[in-house]
Amino acid sequence: MKVRDYLRSHEALLRVEGSDTRVRVSGLDIVIRSIPSDNIRALLNEAVAHMLVRLEKNLRRSRLRFEQNKLEQLSLRIALHNLYIYTAWGRYVNIWRGGPGELHATELLKCQVPEQVMRYCQRHYEQDSRKRAAALLGYSEKELARWEAQRLPLRMCMNNSRYRSN
């Protein structure tokens, strides 16, 4: 699958800082530990491509329309957030994954996707954020209400020097 360079089109800055790489894109400033910047670029671009397919599939059932740029920003935000989680949790991720191995782009789309979609919609579509989040996730109104009822508070502190969101 030929993957477009979404990081370049969104003017992302990847700067190497020792063994870490700082990624600045779309209001995010996140430090990814111990992964070379070329691998980060490849992982994020592939994850964004997979997430766009998923979002567009969910949106076909909805009458809501989203700009392609917004969908790419959301997909990039989800992939980058999960990459940060995987690197921040270090050795515990290998235990969760069942042992060490290569990180695949699809793994960056497994955790906290509904949470990230909801936060993005609340930030960008204040009035109809619930309806837009439901469309992006492919949830009915009932499924969204059920998810919100069981939704846990975000336990991970993202207010630190390695993760900044504007």
Q: What is the pLDDT of residue 149?
A: 86
How far apart, in whole angstroms, are the C-alpha atoms of residue 108 and residue 124? 23
- Of 26, 2, 31, 34, the closest CA to residue 14 belongs to 31
3-state helix, strand, coil in the chain (%, to 5): 55, 15, 30
Q: What is the pLDDT of residue 79?
A: 95
**Which residues 6+ apart lie within 8 Å of 40 measured at CB?**
14, 21, 23, 32, 83
| Degrees to nearest 5, angle at CA 66 with 140 and 83 | 80
Q: What is the pLDDT of residue 151?
A: 80
Q: Beta partners for 28?
A: 25, 165
52 and 104 Cβ atoms separated by less than 8 Å: no
Q: What is the pLDDT of residue 78?
A: 95
How far apart, in whole angstroms, are the C-alpha atoms of residue 16 and residue 165? 19
Q: Which amino acid is at 37?
A: S
Residue found under tokens 């109809």:
128
Q: What is the pLDDT of residue 38?
A: 92
* Low-confidence stretches of the chain (pLDDT beneath 70): 1, 90-101, 152-166
Burial 42-58 (b: 16+ CB within 10 A, else e): ebbbbbbbbbbebbeeb
The domain limits of the chain are: 37-156
Whether the model pTM is above 0.75: yes
